[in-house]
Amino acid sequence: MANEAYEAVIGLEVHTHLLTRSKLFCGCAAGFGAGPNENVCPVCMGMPGVLPVLNRYAVELALRMAFAAHSEVQPYSVFARKSYFYPDLPKGYQISQYELPLCKGGYIEIGNGGQPRRIRLVRIHMEEDAGKNIHEADSSLVDFNRSGVPLVEIVSEPDLRSADEAGAYLRELRAILRYVGASEGRMEEGDFRCDVNVSIRRKGSAELGTKTEIKNLNSFRFVEKAIAYEVSRQVAILESGGRIVQETHLWDPVREQTRPMRSKEFANDYRYFPEPDLPPLRLDAEMIEQVKVSMPELPAQRRERYQHELGLSAYEGAVLTEDKEVADYFESLLLVGLNNPKTAANWTMSEVLRALNESGKTLGQAVPPASETGALLKMVEETTLSLNAAKTAFAMMCKSGRGASATVDEMGLVQVSDEAVIAAACDQVITAEREKVAEYRAGREKLFGFFVGRVMKAMGGKGNPKIVNDLLRRRLAGN
């Protein structure tokens, strides 16, 4: 922050799609990729006279999120109408939860470099998404495919203190959502969106300042930039004797600044009232228990396990577990019999993540199956392949889709460990470099590296380095 006298106070409201096949209150498909208005029916188009029917699986996914976030599941919650007008909302109201949400409280733990910090949650509730307006040069279009897709909204207490912390919180939240299978959390697709509430106060003060809210950010980078911008804007206002006005802002990614929405657009009177077309949501203890016992391993638990059972560092654990698919891949490498978790961890963190990031594809498309990568790493372990040769082979396998042994053969990468072959190469170099050998034997031991280089070159780089070193040292010593 520009001014050390102030502290930022941030609370986030995250909306994320639940990974259901069908929408929250009708049978229409909830996935992406269909043509405009293909996944619609009278319910999600807001026709009069239709009745919503709750998707139980969406509730189950929301409960998984609740357990992962240590949030208190409410056996009795109520859907409510949130009324506002917008062309992508044909009913004129969104079905949400208000006074009695599905879950209260909870927390998300963030690493924050050192000491873990608990960011408390206010609530987690369910609601339906709206459609999507598409503005073109001379017309505006509406696509209702997204209308009625189930969302959970996760509201944090104003516990975050910097843009970095907000980023760490969002990453952990998204990781959890993906681990429990509640959401894919894809920001590019608008799966995972965030409203950012920001205020500042004098350091040491316990009171909250007036906040502004920045709506609908759909990338981590935008969230971090918007917070930094908004904090310095507020500091400048207070420093010049001004007053912060509570208002809603939009982030302009081109100008990299926030600007207020016109006040009419966010008149905040939603006139919530209980949804008369849906009964209150009653969860019996059995259903709650069933979800609880079927909870999968969470990112934090996996990090623990990597540190304590596999001997990896906290940093390695954090990098490997951020994306569940990457962590699963790492574990598959261990399953194919690699003796050393460090080898698999290093390979995943360098080669696998690089291939993933450079290709822009999904993990399954970007890298060979773990069995093939494992076979390659086994060759390194058994010293039939140098580490560098393995990297070359891996890059090729990512492109060609061919297996490990075929690739190593085709590229002629196998490391030579045959002592007779290596000894012959050593002798050849010793004969060709009589003068240098004499110098070495007279005490210029630094020349050893030179001889290793020559032998390796003579062998096309494929000599097993350990055997080359051993044999060369013995032969130079004259025996």
Which positions lie near ligand ADP, rule CB under 6 A? 9-13, 155-158, 197-199, 208-209, 211
- Cβ-based nearer residue to ligand ADP, 237 or 295: 237
- Residue 26: contacted member of Zn ion, ligand ADP, none (CB under 5 to 8 Å, by partner type): Zn ion
Within 10 angstroms of residue 277's Cβ, the number of other Cβ atoms is 12
- Cβ-based nearer residue to ligand ADP, 182 or 196: 196
- Cβ-based nearer residue to ligand ADP, 214 or 404: 214
- Measured CA to CA, the distance from residue 423 to residue 426 in angstroms comes to 5
- Residue 341: contacted member of Zn ion, ligand ADP, none (CB under 5 to 8 Å, by partner type): none
- Residue 97: contacted member of ligand ADP, Zn ion, none (CB under 5 to 8 Å, by partner type): none
- Residue 380: contacted member of Zn ion, ligand ADP, none (CB under 5 to 8 Å, by partner type): none
> Which backbone phi and psi does 64 adopt, to 5 degrees?
-60, -45
Report the nearest approach of ligand ADP to the CB of residue 158 (Å): 4
Report the nearest approach of Zn ion to the CB of residue 126 (Å): 17
Residues at the interface with Zn ion (CB under 5 A): 26, 28, 41, 43-44
The DSSP line for 40-82 is --TTTTT-TT------HHHHHHHHHHHHHTT-EE-SEE-EEEE
- Cβ-based nearer residue to ligand ADP, 12 or 326: 12
Report the nearest approach of ligand ADP to the CB of residue 169 (Å): 11
- Measured CA to CA, the distance from residue 160 to residue 166 in angstroms comes to 6
Report the nearest approach of ligand ADP to the CB of residue 125 (Å): 12
What's the token pair of residue 337?
């019999």
- Cβ-based nearer residue to Zn ion, 143 or 165: 143
- Residue 44: contacted member of Zn ion, ligand ADP, none (CB under 5 to 8 Å, by partner type): Zn ion
Find, among 343, 428, 427, the residue nearest to 391 by Cα: 343
Handedness of CA 2, 4, 6, 12 (dihedral sign): positive
What's the token pair of residue 142?
């509406």
Report the nearest approach of ligand ADP to the CB of residue 14 (Å): 9
- Measured CA to CA, the distance from residue 66 to residue 255 in angstroms comes to 37
Greatest Cα-to-Cα distance within the chain, rounded to the nearest angstrom = 101
- Residue 41: contacted member of ligand ADP, Zn ion, none (CB under 5 to 8 Å, by partner type): Zn ion
Report the nearest approach of ligand ADP to the CB of residue 10 (Å): 6
- Residue 11: contacted member of ligand ADP, Zn ion, none (CB under 5 to 8 Å, by partner type): ligand ADP
Report the nearest approach of ligand ADP to the CB of residue 106 (Å): 13
Angle of helix 299-308 relative to helix 324-335, nearest 10 degrees, comes to: 30
> Which backbone phi and psi does 201 adopt, to 5 degrees?
-155, 160
- Cβ-based nearer residue to ligand ADP, 106 or 158: 158
- Cβ-based nearer residue to ligand ADP, 11 or 368: 11
Q: Which residue is nearest to ligand ADP (CB)?
A: 11
Find, among 283, 326, 18, 299, the residue nearest to 154 by Cα: 18
C-alpha neighbours within 13 Å on the C-beta side of residue 278: 22
